[in-house]
Structure 1
Amino acid sequence: MNHSFILQAEWDGGRNSEGRIEANQLKTAISIPKEMGGPGIGTNPDEMLLGAAATCYLITLAAMMERGSLPVEKLSLESEGIVDVTNNIFTYVSITHKPYIRLKPEASEKDMEHARKLAEKAEGSCMISRAIAGNVALSTLPHIEKSGEGEA
């Protein structure tokens, strides 16, 4: 069974102009980021690729931990995308996901290890990661702790 996603886009001129996109729940202005010599209005393809990879990873990890019956208290994510600019050629080099997983106090050492394995495995299970694999280096640096440990 296939699922179709439709995005409508408008662009108001040349390279340093701005545009708009809309796709179901997504509606935003777009332009080239200031860091790359653009106007920096709204979002941009670099942020959108990072957002797609990060949200796919996070949702996949949450589903895997739920199926694994892990006692999760908190799950959050920071993801970093690196874009190389050499000779005015822009190349998306890497995406690193840094999930923070805090398990409930009753979590065992086995649960902690299971969470670590799932954090690593989620990358390869996410459809966006699979779509960009081989073109963008993907890595995961999980931080896993039990509630009450390491908290200030």
Structure 2
Amino acid sequence: MEHTFLLKADWNGGRNSDGRIEAGQLRTAISIPAEMGGPGVGTNPDEMLLGAAATCYLITLAAMMERASLPVASLGLESEGIVDVTNNIFTYRRIVHRPWVQLAADASESQIEQALRLTEQAETSCMISRAVAGNVALSTEPVVERAS
């Protein structure tokens, strides 16, 4: 079975212009980020790649924890994308996911260990991670704790 996703885009001129994209529920302005000499309007490919990787990772992690019947009290994520600029060539170097998982106060030590393992496994199970593997370094820095 295949799933098809469609994105439509409009662009208003040259490199330092802006545009709009629409894909399903995503509707936003786009441009080159100000940090890279662009107008900084709306979002940009760097943020969208990071957003795709982060949301895929988080949804995958949540599904894995649910299947494992872990007593998750809360789940969150901070992700960082690092882009290198050498000789005016922009290269997406790495993405670091920093998930934090809070299990129920009565979670066992083995459940905490299992949650830690799943934070690592989710990275290799995520469709977007697999798509960029070999081109962008991926890593996780998880925190798993019991609710107080």
Normalising by structure 1, what TM-score? 0.97
Partner of 1:4: 4
Alpha-carbon deviation of 1:123? 0.2
Unaligned runs of 5+ in 2: none
Aligned CA RMSD, in angstroms, stands at 0.3
Report what 2:53 is aligned to: 53
Matched, 1:92 2:92: yes
Q: Secondary structure at the match of 1:77?
A: strand
Number of the residue aligned with 2:104: 104
1:36 is matched with which residue? 36
Over 3 Å off, 4+ runs? none
Letter of the 2:51 counterpart: G
TM-score, length basis structure 2:
1.00
Q: Distance in 2 between matches of 1:117 and 1:24?
A: 33
Tell me, what secondary structure is at the counterpart of 2:135? coil
Unaligned runs of 5+ in 1: none
- How many residues are matched? 148
Q: Pairwise mapping of residues 1-150 of structure 1 onto structure 2 (< 5 A)? A: 1-148=1-148
SS for the counterpart of 2:16 is coil
